Chains A and B, each alone.
Chain A
Amino acid sequence: MSAPLLDVRGLAVGFAGEDGLVPAVQGASFALGAGACLGIVGESGSGKSVAALSVMGLLPPATARITGGSVLLDGRDLLALTPEARRQLRGGEIAMIFQEPMTSLNPAFTIGDQIAEAIRAHAPMSAAAARERAIALLRQVRIASPEKRYDEYPHRLSGGMRQRVMIAIALAGNPRLLIADEPTTALDVTVQAQIVALLRDIQRERGTAILLISHNLGLIAGLADEIAVMYAGRVLEHGPAARILAHPEHPYTIGLLGAVPRAAPGEAPLVGIEGSVPDPRHPPPGCVFQPRCPFAEARCAEAAPPLRALAPGHHAACHLAPLEPVA
């Protein structure tokens, strides 16, 4: 891959708690090329959202502490920038949409006003010009009658439409990187598909890189070029999407795939992963997954396995990888 657009190296983030720092991300690394889509998958508490917020610079300043690593955008370390510099990138070069479209828009202002505000924050122009551009954006995110919708308040729109508005806001600054944190989780299945299609079109037509974060492997599978699997603040496996989905190497990834409901019922039964995510303050010794790993051996508890290349671009952090294919 040529120099990636986004290169996260060894990111470590913790939150100030009563008894000291609670780690949320511990040495996570992943990269995303320009115009590509990276899907970060993991269950709740894996640290994926925190990692995304770190890239955006939206961690709560009162409690969050970045304890290590770097976040390189086009080679520039964002973590080393001043808050003012980071603010200027936000909404401009890097944009983000969130999980709860129902509450993510300000109920006191029209949606048009909120989109125009995002436009004018990154490109000085008159109110009339911003209105024109906002209407165009609304059209792009497939909202019908955009001129009328411009003057409506958020409470008049459905969840799916609000998420489209959020996407329009995100696109207002012509971002090179769009971070989508669980964009469809709160939406109906039919609407989900529409949003996915929209994101795909955006990636293709505008060449925007997408960092897609979800616990939903199916969603990731539909969009991502590359996949990174996070667990307990660490990246356990990453590589090209097709390869990961067909030949997962890390037991956790295998477990996730096994736990995905398939379209045809009656086939392989759902296999859940036993146990739960460890307390970040008291991680298990050695490999962080070994208490739940069906393949765990003694050495798994002695030393934490590093991320090793198993094939070009495909890395996994497991002592036992590569696994023998089961016939």
Chain B
Amino acid sequence: MRFLLFLGQRLALTVPTLLILSVLVFALQHLLPGDPALALAGEDMDPDVVAEIRHRYGFDLPIWHQYWNWLLAALQGDLGMSLRNSMSVVQLLLGKLGITLQLAVASMVLALVIGIPLGVLAAARPGSFASLAASGFALSGISVPHFWLGIMLVLAFSVNLNWFPSSGYTPFAEDPGRWAMGLVLPAFVLGTGIAGVLMRHTRSAMLQALGSDYIRTARAKGLREQRVVLKHALRNALVPVVTLGAIEFGQLLSGAVLTEQIFSIPGFGKLLVDGVLYRDYAVVQGLVLVSALLFIAASLVADILYFVINPRLRS
């Protein structure tokens, strides 16, 4: 019951958060130097065309008026049109949501599969070679720049070995094999960074858990060490790790700008970069709001997970 109240509160806070965010983003975009009408007018820059564009898209209106128009439309489900390719923003976002989700999930799965076991290993055998190797891996995962790693992987695995496509996204319905292969390298780039973070948190949470009294009790029961570590310690260590993981996942949902750029994955990241560079206001506005919504959802899920995993919170 208390939890439902908490959930309700969080959901209620979402609306004003999004509203304030929309105002901020709108203002920020319009503070950027440059005249979007010029950018849209084509290379020849016909002055009549420029004036017409300015009027057609409302750039000659005061900012608050432009925002108001946008808000009214948004409340009716219309997020406007992309100035670049005349597609509806809602359509654009929906189309890319799936791709962004797929990349985010793939990266997260990879990160979990690599990061958590390494963290457990490093905590269970401190000072061992495995632990040192895991630390080294974590550090490099966090420090190596994505764009460098991405291009190196492309050169090694696509150009030289031909194992994976070098760029692009193929829908699952069209070719499941190619879809999967196309996600491996970018998911790896994104996943290793997060794996490093997860590994460090898992290790420290595990070390803390392993030092607890209930671990002594578990050993006193005569349980196998493997069970002590994987059932008793890990279960408790997962609590902070899972919440961290949910937050990281939320960040992935905003799109991975560099990785998408390198691998030409048409997700949110690329859309955002192009939108900002070309002053495609409606796209940036809609995208930021959707990303914020997704992030809020992810942190809500984190809270729910925390509640589920941690019996102490249930009254």
Contacts and interface: CB of A to CB of B under 8 A. Distances in A.
Interface of A: 56, 58, 87-92, 95-96, 98, 100, 103-109, 114, 117-118, 121-122, 153, 155, 166, 169-170, 172-173
B265 to A, nearest CB: 39
Nearest to B214: A106
B212 to A, nearest CB: 7
Chain B binding surface, main DSSP class: helix
Contact of A58 (B216, B223, B232, B309): B216
A110 to B, nearest CB: 8
B222 A106 contact: no
Interface in B257-315: 309-312, 314
B212 A121 contact: no
Q: Which 7 pairs show the lowest CB-CB distances between chains A and B? A: A91-B222, A90-B222, A91-B221, A103-B213, A106-B214, A153-B311, A118-B221
B311 A107 contact: yes
Contacts of B219: 58, 90
Interface in B211-234: 212-214, 216-224, 232
Residue from B213, B223, B235, B312 whose CB has the most chain A CB atoms within 10 Å: B213
B222 A107 contact: no
A89 B214 CA distance: 19
A95 B309 CA distance: 30
Given A98-B217, A153-B312, 17 more contacts: A87-B222, A90-B219, A91-B222, A98-B220, A103-B213, A104-B213, A104-B214, A105-B214, A107-B310, A107-B311, A108-B235, A108-B309, A108-B311, A118-B221, A153-B311, A169-B221, A172-B221
Given A98-B213, A153-B311, A155-B311, A106 B218 contact: yes
B130 to A, nearest CB: 16
A91 B219 CA distance: 8
Given A108-B235, A108-B309, A155-B311, A103 B220 contact: no
A91 B221 CA distance: 4
A121 to B, nearest CB: 6
A107 B214 CA distance: 8
A66 to B, nearest CB: 17
Given A98-B213, A98-B216, A107 B312 contact: yes
Given A109-B235, A166-B217, A103 B222 contact: no
Interface residues of B, number: 20
Contacts of B235: 106, 108-109
Nearest to A86: B222
Contacts of B314: 153
Contact of B221 (A90, A98, A100, A107): A90
14 contacts: A87-B222, A87-B224, A88-B222, A90-B220, A91-B221, A103-B214, A106-B218, A108-B232, A108-B235, A108-B311, A117-B223, A153-B311, A153-B312, A155-B311
A118 B217 CA distance: 10
A106 B223 contact: no
A27 B213 CA distance: 28
Nearest to A56: B220
B222 to A, nearest CB: 3
B236 interface: yes
Given A153-B311, A153-B312, A155-B312, A105 B221 contact: no
A91 B311 contact: no
Contacts of A105: 214, 217
A106 B219 CA distance: 12
A91 B220 CA distance: 6
Contacts of A173: 221-222
Contacts of B213: 98, 100, 103-104
Nearest to A99: B213
Contacts of A56: 220
Interface in B180-235: 212-214, 216-224, 232, 235
Nearest to B217: A104
B222 A104 contact: no
Contacts of B312: 107, 153, 155
A98 B212 CA distance: 13
Nearest to B314: A153
Contacts of B309: 108
A92 B214 contact: no
A98 B314 CA distance: 27
B223 A91 contact: yes
B223 A121 contact: yes
Contacts of B221: 90-91, 117-118, 121, 169, 172-173
A100 B309 CA distance: 24
Nearest to B211: A60
Contact of B220 (A58, A100, A153, A155): A58
Contacts of A98: 213, 216-217, 220
